[in-house]
Amino acid sequence: MKTEIDILAIGNAIVDVIARAEDDFLVAQGVAKGSMTLIDEAQAEKLYAAMGPATIVSGGSAANTVVGAASFGAACAFIGRVKNDPVGEVFAHDIVKSGVAYGTAMALDGAATARSFILVTPDGERTMNTYLGASQNLAERDIDAAVVRKAKVTYLEGYLWDPPEAKAAFRKAAQIAHSAGREVSLTLSDSFCVDRYRDEFRFMIQSGMIDLVFANEHELKALYQTADFDTALAVLRKEAKRAAVTRSEKGAIIVEGVMTIEIPAFPIETLVDATGAGDAYAAGFLHGYTQGMGYEKAGRLGALAASHVIQKIGARPAVPLKELAEQAGLA
């Protein structure tokens, strides 16, 4: 492992099962369009049996982000738990081959490796039904203090805030990072996730545990319980050190105190699958941020990465993002 890491991500280690579906199929399966719903292993097997032809690829929100950042050329590492089963082997193989350092010990027993069943409707919206399995067993013992100290930014996935042991692992990682003079970032992940842990997320932001917040417009409104984006943004300015807020085709807004930088979205030809757009944005932004490129260039890299992944199936880049950055004059 390199002497210094740009980005260390801690999150759910998940293998994605992605299939196209009509809106009627979502209704028949009783799932809310555009949501992320947690399911048990029996529900997972039932849904998989009902789905059409699927693409299987390693995923997980924070894992997608460091894979994207590594594609830009960043030095990245990931901490997340899988079981020593065929699906877990797929995850470990894929993330290492993507250029991300991964050394979390595989579980030898207990729940199977996590899977997320992602249904993509014709409008490109993704609906996720996730069996979290072994990923939920991440604990303090999995946090490698030496790796955290090497990382410029430790990136925490809001989806993993459910299990108490994972919360303890997050807090341990944040403490180690700050004691080493490093930074900690949090992605709010999903508006339903925010609804469950609004007070805890706000406390982490207000207390200074989080140095950089990632959110989309819906998550930000959920965090501050308002339908007005400007109202939510005004509160965020007061509570967060700095934040990047994505707004789909409206681009993104970077804020730090009274400073505001608006980043336009990159134009696309066809929206194919919105899965992982926020993960990709964070990848580009964190790469630029850790390389000292400044907020505007970091934001443009985020927008470039997001525009790429939404024009294909799956949340991970199909070509090296470093090449796309060079073509766009953002290397």
> Could you tell me the CATH number of the domain that includes residue 199?
3.40.1190.20
pLDDT at 73 over 70: yes
Average pLDDT over residues 59-74: 96
Mean pLDDT lowest among 78-82, 228-232, 302-306, 308-312: 308-312
DSSP class of residue 203 equals: H
At residue 2, the pLDDT reads: 56
In the prediction, which pLDDT does 38 show? 85
Instruction: Identify which of 242, 189, 184 has the alpha carbon closest to the alpha carbon of residue 218.
Output: 189
Residue 203 has pLDDT above 90, yes or no: yes
Residue scoring higher pLDDT (192 or 76) = 76
8 A C-beta contact, residue 214 and residue 207? no
**Residue 114 scores a pLDDT above 60:** yes
When pLDDT is cut at 50, 70 and 90, the band that residue 124 belongs to is confident
73: left (phi over 0), alpha (psi -120 to 50) or beta: left
- DSSP secondary structure letter of residue 112: P
Task: Give the C-alpha separation, 5 to 209, whole Å.
Answer: 20
Give me the number of domains the chain comprises: 1
Tell me which residue range forms the domain holding 35.
5-327
89 Cβ contact list (under 8 Å, min separation 6):
none
Are 50 and 29 within 8 A, CB to CB?
yes
Statement: residue 200 has pLDDT above 80: yes
Q: How far apart are CA 210 and CA 212, in angstroms?
A: 6
Q: Which two tokens stand for residue 222?
A: 């959920």
pLDDT confidence bin for 214, thresholds 50/70/90: very high
| pTM given for the model | 0.90
Measured between alpha carbons, how far is residue 121 from residues 19, 22, 50, 108, 125 in Å?
A: 9, 5, 15, 37, 6
43-57 exposure pattern, b = at least 16 Cβ within 10 A, e = fewer: ebeebeeebeebeeb
User: Is the pLDDT assigned to residue 132 strictly greater than 80?
Assistant: yes
Q: How many CB atoms lie within 10 A of CB 301?
A: 31
Instruction: Specify the pairing of strand 151-157 against strand 259-263.
Output: unpaired
